[in-house]
Amino acid sequence: MFSDHTDHSDPYQLFKEWFALASAAEPIHPEAVTLATAAAGRQLAARPIARMVLLRGHDADGYVFYSNSHSRKGQELAANPHAALLFYWRQPISRQIRIEGVVSATSEEESDAYFRGRPRQSQIGAWASQQSAQLSSRQELEQRMSQFDQQFADQPVPRPPHWHGYRLRPQAYEFWQEQPARLHDRLVFTRDGYAEAASAWQCSLLYP
């Protein structure tokens, strides 16, 4: 259950506490998170889609992941920057966190710094993969890897212009903790606006 000492004024502090618990309990990719996006438009065009990404940074200003802007998620975020993240960590902690907000690109400097720290083969892969486009065969991908490996031989691999970071700035959180008889704990934080212009967080409990 939520402790009486839980900070009800700052959900990011609670996120950090839970993420630390998850990192200790689930050392293989505790940073794996479901990202849900939806294209702009009505009816079929606005249907949501979800996929797993890896959280690569977080602070009070938001949650950062990286991707190819030509991918489906990149195109959807360009058309409709509203998105949601869902973390789920199974036993022994049995908790999940939902975060909703608006996504924007990280700075060129931040994207460059992260890209420089990636393994070289992952850097080459960012050039070789036309993410979300149709692929005729695995051989085609391997040929593109070889092509860019040769192109950047004996030199640092630059960051592709279409590959960069995204930061989700939160406007809503829900913290969920499993309890017996499915009487789970749910703690919600909401506010108006984003970043510096945002109002104070409002906190409430929800029925399970």
Asked about 51 being catalytic, the answer comes back as no
| Domain harbouring 87, CATH code | 2.30.110.10
Containing structural domain, residue 98 = 11-114+164-205
pLDDT, mean over the chain: 93
The answer to whether residue 30 scores a pLDDT higher than 70 is yes
Positive or negative, the CA dihedral 121, 126, 132, 133 is negative
> Which tokens go with 152?
């950047």
Q: Does residue 153 lie in a domain region? A: no
Q: Does residue 184 lie in a domain region? A: yes
Calculate what percentage of the chain has a pLDDT beyond 70: 92
Q: Which of 118, 182, 186, 191 is catalytic?
A: 182
The domain tally of the chain equals 1
Report the range out of 37-46, 153-162, 196-205 with the highest average pLDDT.
Answer: 153-162
Alpha helices in the chain (DSSP H): 11-25, 72-79, 108-116, 120-128, 138-151
Q: Does residue 180 lie in a domain region? A: yes
At 43, is the pLDDT very low, low, confident or very high (cuts 50, 70, 90)? low
**Stretch 115-144: mean pLDDT:** 97
Q: How far apart are CA 204 and CA 47, in angstroms?
A: 29
Q: Does residue 149 lie in a domain region? A: no
Q: Does residue 33 lie in a domain region? A: yes
- According to the model, what pLDDT value does residue 199 have? 82
Q: Does residue 68 lie in a domain region? A: yes
Q: Which residue has the higher pLDDT, 1 or 65?
A: 65
**Look-up of token digits 């393994």:** 119
Q: Does residue 196 lie in a domain region? A: yes
**Stretch 181-206: mean pLDDT:** 88
| pTM for this prediction | 0.91
The answer to whether residue 90 scores a pLDDT higher than 60 is yes
Q: Does residue 132 lie in a domain region? A: no
The answer to whether residue 4 scores a pLDDT higher than 60 is no
3-state SS assignment for residue 176: strand
